[in-house]
Each structure stands twice: as C-alpha cells, then as structure tokens.
Amino acid sequence: MLYPTDTVYAIGCDLNSKAALQRVRQLKQISNDKPLTFLCSSLSNIAQYAYVQDPAYRIMRRLVPGPYTFILPATKLVPKLVQNPKRKTTGIRVPEHPVCQAILSSLETPVISTSAHLPEALGGSSDTFQGLSQAELFDCLDKHVDLIVDNGQEPAELCSTILDLCGSEPTVIREGLGWDEVAAQFAMV
C-alpha cells in the first residue's frame, strides 16, 4: 500500500507477509541485505520487537509518537528480511499520524514503512523525496500497489530523524523532521 505518515508518503505492507515484503523490496529496488523500517502502534508495542535498554527507553519515551526512527537490537519476532543482517538490528517508528495509527489498529500488527521515493525505473531519482505532488505520486505508483490511502494532504518533503540506540550513547544517523526536538532532548541527557 501507499499511505501517508507524519513524514513522507510511505510504501508498506504487513510485517509478517514475506510475499508482500518481497514486493516492497522489488518496487523500491532494495536488496535483501538492506534493512527496512516498520511502524508500531506504541512504545509498549516496540518491546515485543526490540530489546530496549533503560537509556534508550528514556529517550524514546520523550519523543514518541512522532517522526523518529529508532535503530534497536531486534527480537526473534522481527523477520530476517527486515533486519540488518550483520548487526541483527531493526528500525522502528511510532507515528503520530492518525491514518498510520488507524492502519496499525485495524491490522493489529506492525506495518513496513519505507519512504515512497520512486526508483529510477518509475521516473524517480536517487535523491531525497522528489517533490512530486500527491497526484503525481499516486499516478506513478497506482499500478504497483494494491491500495492507496488518500488523506487529501500533499506529502511532506522531510524524512524521519534516525537515532541508533544500540550503543551506550545514541548516535544520530540522519537529521530529519523532528531534529530540533531531538537536539533539545540530547541537551537534557
């Protein structure tokens, strides 16, 4: 499916559907050794899919829900197709967006969330979000996804801020939407 998030539009599927995961990888032209991010409904839901140490929990508690991706050690519930194969880690988000929360609530399972950057084969570029309008994005992906969720809003142009919380100190992987809040939190840590 193509759906809106609190950052950019995303391409996603049920975390536990191997066939759908492969379709997402094929559409985005992502190899199996590149990890995928998924959405959880709440901070407590994350604990089923990742090992969260106290320092990481304190940071996450201040930031979720919101436009943040957390890299964490994966539990056995995370399919290998989603994990970083070398580090056994995964990226997890708890979105604030009402459409994402409604999808998560109705499916009762995490949802893959990879930004809807279009591969070059579909007219995209390898740059950040191409600045396509919602209509252009829908037109480009209409024949490639089973479902498009239209909330009537234009997509944002910034992806999530990514924090690696696997070590003793958090590491910023990408400054994105919500970065100012993260910077303020680090001043408190």
| pLDDT tens column, 133-167 | 788 888 888 999 999 999 887 767 789 999 999 99
Percent of the chain scoring above 70 in pLDDT: 90
Least confident span in 25-39, 62-76, 78-92, 113-127 = 113-127
In Å, what is the CA distance from 108 to each residue of 15, 118, 130?
11, 28, 32
CATH classification of the domain holding 15? 3.90.870.10
Across 156-180, average pLDDT: 91
In a 13 Å sphere around the CA of 50, the CA atoms on its Cβ side amount to 34
Q: Are strands 111-112 and 37-39 parallel, antiparallel or unpaired?
A: antiparallel
pLDDT exceeds 60 at position 9: yes
Number of domains in the chain: 1
pLDDT exceeds 60 at position 21: yes
In angstroms, the first-to-last Cα distance of the chain is 38
Alpha-carbon gap, residue 103 to 115, rounded angstroms: 16
Q: Write down the residue that tokens 């801020």 correspond to.
A: 161
Percent of the chain scoring above 90 in pLDDT: 65
pLDDT tens digit sequence for 60-100: 999 999 999 999 999 999 999 899 888 999 999 999 999 99
Task: Supply the mean pLDDT for the chain.
Answer: 88
Give this prediction's pTM. 0.89
Q: Write down the residue that tokens 């604030």 correspond to.
A: 96
pLDDT exceeds 50 at position 128: no
Q: What residues make up the domain containing 129? A: 2-188
In a 13 Å sphere around the CA of 1, the CA atoms on its Cβ side amount to 19
* Predicted local distance difference test score (pLDDT) of residue 174: 94
